Amino acid sequence: MTSTSLFLVALRETLRPPRTPRRTTRRLAIGAAVAAFSLTAIFALVPPPPPSAADQLQAYIAAHAQTLAVSEQVTVAGVKRDHYSATAGVNSLVTSGTNYDWARLVLLSGGWPVTDTSVTVLVRWMRQENGADNWWNRNNPLNNGYGSGGGGGTGSYANLEIAAEKAAEMLHRNPGMSAITAALASAAPSATIEQAIWASPWASSHYGNGSRWHYTPVAVVKAPAGAW
């Protein structure tokens, strides 16, 4: 072999990468396997996310499930519901605008129960003072002197809503009307309320102690819109 050939063989051996012994390769493979297993074990030990509220609710329902067995001999009882009613407010009463609505306004303003009996007595009282067809006369249905500018009940109010407030206020303020307010507050029978009115100083005639009091039904009459 020539010197040139020998030089090339030596150069090739020098440039060739060193061979890894088989034992070292086996060790590297085992190490890689151990590392992969370790990573798998680490991820396997990570706790799962906590259950959501919906999951917890479903789990609770499943763990505490209940059943109800009803005998076929059980009969269904009738259900009795409580009675309820609604009282019209000031705005609806003003919009309706009848003599019965004004009587209800007086009761509302005075803080008294709005009963059919009390309303009936009040519209009778209004009829005694101004008649049924013109009950809104001078915007003063009960001829109340308090705050109307007429001490004898000849004054007037700006509107019927104010008149209702002043009538209730007069009944509360005057000690001579205490029997009326007590009867209205207790939702007393009509005879009790009317006797309290006759005995009071509201009218000097005391309505003849009832002899001039009329009991015929009072017609429903709506006041002109301008009175409100």
47: alpha, beta or left, given left = phi > 0 and alpha = psi -120 to 50? beta
- Residue 15: predicted pLDDT: 54
- Residue 191: predicted pLDDT: 97
What is the rounded average pLDDT of the residues 85-109? Answer: 89
Q: Look at the chain and report how many structural domains it folds into.
A: 1
User: Has residue 86 got a pLDDT over 70?
Assistant: no
| 131 in a structural domain | yes
Residue range 206-221, pLDDT digits in tens: 999 999 999 999 999 9
Residue 146: closest CA among 138, 154, 134? 154
Q: DSSP label at 222?
A: B
What is the rounded average pLDDT of the residues 175-198? Answer: 97
Q: Answer whether 106's CB lies under 8 Å from 135's CB.
A: no
| 196 in a structural domain | yes
pTM of the model: 0.63
- Residue 57: predicted pLDDT: 80
Type of residue at 104: R
Measured over the CA atoms of residue 112, residue 115, residue 117 and residue 119, the dihedral's sign is positive
- Residue 59: predicted pLDDT: 84
Q: Which residues are CB-contacts of 213 (< 8 A; sequence separation ≥ 6)?
A: 124, 128, 194, 198, 207
| 76 in a structural domain | no
**Count of CB atoms within 10 A of residue 110's CB?**
21
| 135 in a structural domain | yes
Residue pointed to by tokens 């309320």: 193
User: Has residue 140 got a pLDDT over 80?
Assistant: yes
Report the distance separating Cα 193 and Cα 126, nearest Å.
14
Q: Which domain holds residue 200?
A: 90-222
| 169 in a structural domain | yes
Q: Which residues are CB-contacts of 134 (< 8 A; sequence separation ≥ 6)?
A: none
Residue range 60-71, pLDDT digits in tens: 888 888 777 777
Average pLDDT across the chain, whole number? 83
User: Has residue 107 got a pLDDT over 80?
Assistant: yes
Task: Write out 19-34 in H/E/C secondary structure.
Answer: CCCHHHHHHHHHHHHH
Higher pLDDT, 117 or 7: 117
134 confidence band (pLDDT: 50, 70, 90): very high
Residue range 6-54, pLDDT digits in tens: 555 555 655 555 555 555 556 655 655 555 555 555 555 556 778 888 8
Report the distance separating Cα 85 and Cα 156, nearest Å.
34
Q: Answer whether 121's CB lies under 8 Å from 194's CB.
A: yes
Q: Which residues are CB-contacts of 163 (< 8 A; sequence separation ≥ 6)?
A: 102, 139, 140, 141, 142, 144, 148, 157
| 50 in a structural domain | no
What is the rounded average pLDDT of the residues 196-204? Answer: 96
Q: Answer whether 180's CB lies under 8 Å from 193's CB.
A: yes
Report the distance separating Cα 3 and Cα 10, nearest Å.
11
Residue range 149-184, pLDDT digits in tens: 877 888 999 999 999 999 999 999 999 999 999 999
**Count of CB atoms within 10 A of residue 136's CB?**
24
Higher pLDDT, 22 or 143: 143
Residue 118: closest CA among 173, 194, 174, 170? 194
| 8 in a structural domain | no
| 160 in a structural domain | yes
